[in-house]
Amino acid sequence: MTINYYVCNHKLMKNRNNCMQPTVNKTPRIEVIDALRGFAVMAILLVHSLEHFIFPVYPTDSPEWLNILDNGTLNVVFSLFAGKSYAIFALLFGFTFYIQCHNQEKKGKDFGYRFLWRLVLLVGFATINAAFFPAGDVLLLFSIVGIVLFLVRKWSDKAILITAIFFLLQPIEWYHYLMSLFNPSHTLPDLGVDAMYQEVAEYTKGISLQVMSLWDKKPVCFGLSEQDVFCKQPDFS
């Protein structure tokens, strides 16, 4: 008579039915979060495509109907997607941190220091991104705000709620408002943001004018070989 033994959980069992497979508790993904994240990323991509992906080499003298269409498209896209996508993306940044931190706490681990390492990597990506997108990099801002998440990760819900309400009341704005009531000469501090955007705009405009001047002096040629070349003087009138 042959008796078969089965290995179960590093033990020998005569009956396979007594061998219970270990269950792995996996946290199910929240599909609505994935959908919102996808919407936010695609909306941001659409908004940035109107700003920078089509490099500002535009005709200097465009027809009036083209200017109206251009401005209308820009305003519609920004009204529908810009603010909403930025807000959703920022909200999901904090919510994802909470999920990861909570899952690691159930395993008895501290996710904070691992999150700090990810912020260091994010700073590296932000530096590269800022080199090509100086006027609108938000990754570095997420890196700085992420440090705040690390510091308050062990706060109670009540403490976080009180702190959130305090900042939602915008105390700095109220301070400047009250100061302006008692001191009419009080002015807001100049952070140099407008000057930075103006410098970037002048730089990109200067490049556009240089490229346009080159195009005006030299025809543009297209072709797959020397025998099949088509040249045309650009006409943007």
Would strands 11-13 and 228-232 be described as parallel, antiparallel, or unpaired?
unpaired
Annotate 66-103 with b (16+ C-beta within 10 A) or e (fewer).
eeeeeeeeeeebeeebbeebeebbeebeeeebeeebee
Please report, for residues 113, 187, 222, the alpha-carbon distance to residue 77 in angstroms, rounded to integers and kept in the order given: 39, 34, 33
Q: What is the CA radius of gyration of the chain?
A: 29
Nearest C-alpha neighbor of 143 from the set 105, 101, 180, 93: 93
- Tokens 């100086």 found at: 134
Total-model pTM:
0.62
**How many Cβ atoms are within 10 Å of 27's Cβ, its own excluded?**
9
Q: Please tell me the predicted confidence (pLDDT) of residue 25.
A: 58
| Contact (Cβ atoms closer than 8 angstroms) between residue 153 and residue 160 | no
pLDDT score, position 63 = 80
The tens place of each residue's pLDDT in the chain, 237 residues long, gives: 555 545 555 555 555 555 555 554 566 778 888 899 899 889 888 887 776 655 444 555 678 887 788 888 888 888 888 888 888 988 999 999 999 998 898 888 999 999 999 999 999 998 888 777 766 678 888 999 999 999 999 899 999 999 999 999 999 999 999 999 999 888 888 877 777 777 766 766 665 555 555 555 555 454 444 554 455 555 544
